Each structure stands twice: as structure tokens, then as C-alpha cells.
Amino acid sequence: MLVLEIAVPENLSGDALRLVLDELRPTLVAWVISFLITGMYWVSHRDLFSGIRTVNRDLVWLNLLFLLPVALIPFAASVLGRYPDEPVALHLYGVVVIAASAMRLLLLWYAPRRPALLWPDAVAERVGVAIAIAAAPIPVYLVAIAVAGASTTISGLLYLAVPFLYFLLVTLLRERPGTRTEADEFT
């Protein structure tokens, strides 16, 4: 996905290679964060569409609108990798992942309200947990945007924390008897 932008010149000495790798660190960190966040979106997308039997034009368009900000993640990660100490790079990244999260929520809201689109065994009433899981990163993204001007490091760490918080939330929901089934189906 983003590895195409990570290049190391050939024939470097040990010291020169260390310097280049040090310069590439922000790009690698942005790539790792983006890979994990994109993975979250992919898993959610897969889970949602495993319950979809057929699609209508509205769902196709909503899906494309979800994929639009997801497809912008590499661009935002590239800007963040090149300008890791610039608040505007962190703001851009936040706007992109918030847009992806918002579209993810819209998909999760729309599809279960159209029973004709779902497989007979799909359980539309369990979507509440999926919406809670999908919405959980948005406040963290908003805080990351808000603190970027004061500390780009804290902002970056908040973006990095989202996938770990996501997996922690899913794990906790799987442990609770009242949400176990829903967390297993919508994670």
C-alpha cells in the first residue's frame, strides 16, 4: 500500500544508511499507523458485507463514499511522514480518518435498516455494538487534531493508539456476556 514511497538509496555506508533510516522513521511510523487503521476499516467492511445478500444502488454509492477517504489514507500518511512536526499534517490525517469513520458509521446505519439486502440469518438488531465500535475512534481523532498544535508527538501517539484501543474495546466486549455475540459478529 504505502511501501512504494519508502525507498533507500543503494550503496550506502553503514553511517549513511543509519542517517537515511533515521530520516525515514517518520514515514515508517505513518505507514504502520495507516496500515493498522486501514486494517480496522477492512475488517469492519468485511464483517458488514458478510451479512449482505444483495446490494442496491444506494449501498453501492455509500460504499464508494466510504472507500474515498480510505483511499486518501496513503496520501495523508505520506504528508504526515514528510512533515511529522507540522500540525497541519496531523490535522489532514485526522480529517481523512474521521471522514472514513463517518462513512463507516453511515454504512453500518444504512444496511441493517434494509432487511431485503441482508441474508436471512443476519441480525440487524445487533448493529448497535458495531456502531459503538465504529464510533469509538472519532473522539480520539478529534483530540489528536486538537492537541497537534501543542504537541505533534502526543497527536501522533493518539493516532497510533487507536488500533490498540479498538482491539482492546473489541476484546472487552467479547468478554461481556451481554455483548459477546455482537462483538464477535461486528469487529
Mean of the pLDDT values across residues 48-68?
A: 95
Through-space distance between the first and last CA atoms of the chain, rounded to whole angstroms: 22
The top-scoring range by mean pLDDT among 35-44, 107-116, 120-129, 137-146 is 137-146
Whole-Å CA distances, 130 to 5, 145, 164: 34, 24, 17
DSSP 20-75: HHHHHHHHHHHHHHHHHHHHHHHHHHHHHHHTBS---HHHHHHHHHHHHHHHHHHH
The pTM of the full predicted model, rounded to 2 decimals, is 0.87
Distance between CA atoms of 40 and 140, rounded to whole angstroms?
15
DSSP 113: G
Q: What is the mean pLDDT of residues 77-81?
A: 93
Mean pLDDT, all residues of the chain: 88
pLDDT of 95-117, one tens digit each? 999 999 999 999 999 998 898 99
pLDDT at position 47, please? 85
What's the Cα-to-Cα distance from 148 to each of 25, 145, 158, rounded to whole Å? 19, 5, 10
Answer yes or no: is pLDDT of 125 > 70: no
Neighbouring CB atoms inside 10 A of 9's CB total 8
Say how far apart CA 155 and CA 160 lie, in whole Å: 9
- Residue appearing with cell numbers 500500500: 1
pLDDT at 104: 95
Least confident window among 4-8, 29-33, 36-40, 62-66: 4-8
Percent of the chain with pLDDT over 70: 87
The pLDDT of residue 2? 46
Question: Out of 4-8, 150-154, 174-178, which region has the weakest mean confidence (pLDDT)?
Answer: 4-8
